Structure 1
Amino acid sequence: MRRDKINQEATLEGQPAGSAPTGQDVHTVSREELYEQVWARPMTKVAADYGVTSTALKKTCDRHKIPTPDRGYWAKLEHGKQVRKRPRLPRLSDTKLDRVRINGSLPESLPEEVRKAGTEVRERLASMSLPELAGATASSGSGGKEPSILRSTRRAISKGRPDVQGFKSSQGSGIVPMKIAPYSIDRALLPLSRLFVLAGTEGYRPKISDTGLDLATEDLSIPFGVEERPRKTPHEPTEAELKRRDENLRWGSSRPPWPQYDYSPSGRLSIVIHANSWSGLRRTYSDCKTQSVEAMLPEIVAGLAEHAALLRERRRAAEERERQHREAEARRRREEAFSAREKRRLEFIDAIHEQLLERSKLAAVLAHLESSAVTGENRAKSISAWIRRRIQQIDALTCPEFVDLSARSAKLDFVEPFSDLNRENPGSYYGYPSTPRLQFWSIDEQKELATSISALEWAARAGLAPESESEDADQSQTG
């Protein structure tokens, strides 16, 4: 029935370190330490130190096989009455139980906005005269008029069939989630009517959701429900169960075939806020010996304000994390874009450097050939002519004008852009950057147009190579 079955009084065992939500503290102690603590002071005081309830601490001790004082132990001890002797801490074969993790939350660990929101609501409600809304004890047929928005809830819970324990349940869109005994229906709906009126003074209005009926403000909704605490009594085995036990014993099974306890309606109602699990905020408001749910309505409204403030704080924190993530992602993209630009720039400079190295090598060879021809006939004229032509090509390829045109053709910018947002990868198809290279160019000064041409075409236009195959053949015959 409940959208959030986890009770805020429970502890988390085995949760990774650092994973506790906002407002939660994780304490780790040994079994021996916790054993000494629960036998040195009342369970309520020890639990308060860890930011959990005494019930939650008792469950934790039971899981780790730590014996605890019986109910009333400290009261009897205070009045000098005889109490059960302190048992020894049993040894365990499972070493995983040696360390006890207690996830609790102390009020001072909650954000300041949360504590402030609850305090302000309590002060405002304390200054108002609200005896009929918050202080009166509801009974069937008493109180004001039931709001129409609760009709669906009354209809659903009235038509429900009791389960084996005697509880009826209701759930669905526009219906307050409930699990109560049939005779508790009128009493459960009356404090809800008063809660709606009281919550309305703080800006909370009933709002239909897909899974229930929430109390909502302009910016958020808080789900809640009503439950009846079950009465737990030791199970009295029936004759059939006793007979089944005897049959099991003959087969070697000593486990009793009946539950340890029976559960039944107790008449103790609880209003439960289904939000902010494991936050440390109070989520359950139950009837007790000294106070009824009806008398807790102002405190419930203050609790709503605290839960709303924590939801806003968590949403703000989530938005801040998202903003930081976006900034980190944008920074990563800028760094990647910068690295990519630097890589292509270096590739372009390497291309120029390779040409200059080749020119230096050609010049050294040419100087060697010409120095050898000073004293005799130069038998390597054609080689020297080719080297000179090649040097001319390299000089043209690496001249500032051609270098600038080659860089612009590759969309290679040596000035950092103001922004890398929406900047596509330059000089590429389908977003893959091409390797920048040096090129030969035909420049039309009148049209202010530069066209990339091949090395052979440039050499022909420069008069360093024949323009056609026939001219090449004529030169060969002449030679």
Structure 2
Amino acid sequence: MDDLEPRQPVTIARDELYRRVWESPMSRLAAEFGISGNGLAKICDRLKIPYPPRGYWARKEAGQEVVRFRLLKPDSDTPGEVTITPTPTPPKLAPEVQEANAAAHSKAEGIVVPDELKRPHAIISGWLAEHKERKRRDRIDRNPYRPAMPDWTDGEHRQHRILDAIFRAVEKNGLMVRSEDLSTFYFEYKTEKIHCRLREKNKQVRRPKTAEEMRWSSGQNWTQVLEPTGNLIFSFEDYFGHESRLRREWLETTTKRFEAMVPDIVATLLLAGPALVKLREDREEEKRRREEAERLRQIEQARRKKDRNQWRSLVEQAERHETATKVRNLLAALERTASDPSVMIGDRSLADWIAWAKAYLEAVDPVCRGVEGIFGEISKVTDWTYRD
């Protein structure tokens, strides 16, 4: 099968999956299914399938004795089979994105972290000066309730050397370095801010409680504390959009020192600025589209309401015409039956009453105004004519 062809979901029985996880390493088998080793382990846990522990295949390869755990009888709620769906392959980067990535990494090649910081970058020089001034004020103040400013550690001096190399490299390529407080920094690209953090990784360890701690606590004779590992972490605090697929964290290990990661970090910084600009422009365009869609929706809503109101006006005029027709028929019948038009009824004669009614009909009956009069009145109706 072509490697580029997407894998299809595979349905496998519980006992068959058990057999296969003991025949080849989890990572290799997971790759065949198109998922991660951790994903395969979770599937095995869900089906209550035991799998080889860490170091099993190395011991077996070395000829050492290994133990294969047997498959226990499933519980009533344990599935007898599972369908494994491969993890979708991320789409390839667009050619222009690939070109930008290559250009950024080319600019970041050959960056070297100095072994000694002789002429620190202006930002770092400001940190050093501020730290020195705080120490001087501490010596003068001698406040026993305020902890003294600690000296820079070897790890912090190393961070300064690493940041010095990063700051100088990005400034050569159009980014500005800013600092708002001691040891904090961010980068500016056009109108965008790139927030980063360089810190030492800590780990939780157990240590015995002191005699004082044992006096005020019960239970275990140990406590968990954070202890520095000596390994550094560089991380971005901003989201760059899923299309950029930019790395957001670098963790130092015992096999790969942080100094070797600096070129990749610098290249990512050079890509992060344009990515943030594009993300902002995309969001603004999306906002503009939403606002335009809302504007058109409101226009259409007003148009439909205006149509309903104009129809309502036409119906009202039809009802007035119908009423006027009934009154006109009534007047005609009265005129036929009236024997003496001069007879007084109230303060008017019968002829005057009939004349008054006919004059009122002329004002009320819309037909008397003609087609242009009727539709002229309707044309003045808006979506706000009727409030109910």
- Does the C-alpha gap of structure 1 residues 257 and 334 become closer, same or farther in structure 2, counting only changes over 3 Å? farther
CA distance in 1 between partners of 2:196 and 2:33 (Å): 28
SS of equivalent residue, structure 2 residue 222: coil
Identity rate, percent: 22
Residues 1:219 and 2:191 are matched in the alignment: yes
What does 1:194-205 align with in structure 2 at a 5 Å threshold? 194-205=165-176
1:311 corresponds in structure 2 to 276
Deviates more, 1:195-204 or 1:337-346: 337-346
Letter in 1 for 2:168: V
Of residues 80-89 and 270-279 in structure 1, the stretch that sits farther from structure 2 once superposed is 80-89
Alpha-carbon offset, residue 42 of structure 1: 4.3
The alignment status of 1:324 with 2:289, answered yes or no, reads yes
Aligned partner of 2:358 in structure 1 is 391
User: Per-residue displacement from partner, 1:44-93 (whole Å, max 9, x unpaired)?
Assistant: 995999998x8x879989x9899875444444455554456458799999
Q: Which runs of 5+ in 1 are unaligned?
A: 1-31, 161-169, 171-179, 249-255, 415-424, 427-431, 436-479
Map 1:139-218 → 2, pairs under 5 A: 139=115, 142=116, 145-154=119-128, 182-208=153-179, 212-218=184-190
Residue 346 in 1 paired to residue 288 in 2? no
**Does 2:92 align with 1:123?**
no
Equivalences for 1:11-410 in 2 at 5 Å?
41-42=25-26, 70-83=53-66, 85-86=68-69, 108=91, 116-126=99-109, 130=110, 133-134=111-112, 138-139=114-115, 142=116, 145-154=119-128, 182-208=153-179, 212-231=184-203, 233=205, 235-238=206-209, 248=219, 256=220, 258-259=222-223, 262-276=225-239, 281-372=246-337, 377=339, 386-397=353-364, 398=366, 399-400=368-369, 404=373
- Separation in 2, partners of 1:245, 1:71: 40
Which amino acid letter does the alignment assign opposite residue 228 of structure 1? E
Distance in 2 (CA, whole Å) between partners of 1:228 and 1:276 is 22
Q: Is the 8 A contact 1:356 1:394 kept in 2?
A: no
For the residue of structure 2 that corresponds to 1:223, the secondary structure is strand
Distance in 1 (alpha carbons) for counterparts of 2:72 and 2:170 = 49
Measure how far apart 1:189 and its partner are.
0.4
Structure-2 separation of matches of 1:318 and 1:365 = 70
Partners of 1:302 and 1:60 in 2: how far apart? Answer: 36
SS of residue in 1 equivalent to 2:253: coil
SS in 2 for 1:344: helix
CA RMSD for the aligned pairs?
Answer: 5.3
Paired with 1:38 and 1:241, the residues of 2 have a C-alpha distance of: 51
CA displacement 1:102-121 (0-9 Å, x = unmatched):
xx997537777655532331
Name the aligned partner's letter for residue 100 of structure 2: A
Q: Contact 2:201–2:230 (CA<8 Å) still a contact in 1?
A: yes
One-letter amino acid of the structure 2 residue matched with residue 293 of structure 1:
F
Deviation at 1:238, TM superposition (A): 4.9
Partner SS for 1:282:
coil
Q: Deviations over 1:248-284 (max 9, x none)?
A: 4xxxxxxx3534x554222222222222289564222
Once residues 89 and 157 of structure 1 are traced to their aligned partners in structure 2, the CA distance between those partners, rounded to angstroms, is 63
- SS of corresponding position for 2:190: coil
SS in 2 for 1:108: coil
Q: Output one character per residue of 1:371-430: Cα deviation in whole Å (capped at 9) or x when no partner.
A: 446xxx36897667534532333324434389859967x9x537xxxxxxxxxx78xxxx
Change (3 A) 1:361 1:322: same
Deviations 1:12-49 (A, max 9, x none): xxxxxxxxxxxxxxxxxxxx8xx979886545995999
Deviates more, 1:313-322 or 1:394-403: 394-403
1:133-190 CA-to-partner distances (Å, cap 9, x unmatched) read 33x5x54xx2552112113434667879xxxxxxxxx9xxxxxxxxx98221211100
Tell me if structure 1 keeps the 8 A contact 2:49–2:71. Answer: no
Flag structure 2 segments of 5+ consecutive residues without an equivalent: 1-13, 136-148, 344-348
Mapped partners of 1:386, 1:257: distance in 2: 112
Deviations 1:335-389 (A, max 9, x none): 232133223323432332232112210222233334446xxx3689766753453
Does the 8 Å contact 2:233/2:252 carry over to 1? yes
Q: CA deviation at 1:241?
A: 10
Q: CA deviation at 1:214?
A: 0.9
CA 1:326 to 1:109, structure 2 compared with 1: closer, same or farther past 3 Å?
farther
C-alpha change, 1:387 and 1:433, in structure 2 (3 Å) is same
Q: Secondary structure at the match of 1:265?
A: strand
- 2:216 and 2:28 mapped to 1: Cα distance? 39
Q: 1:90 & 1:364 partners in 2: Cα distance? A: 96
Instruction: Indicate how the Cα distance of structure 1 residues 238 and 352 shifts in structure 2: closer, same or farther if over 3 A, else same.
Output: closer
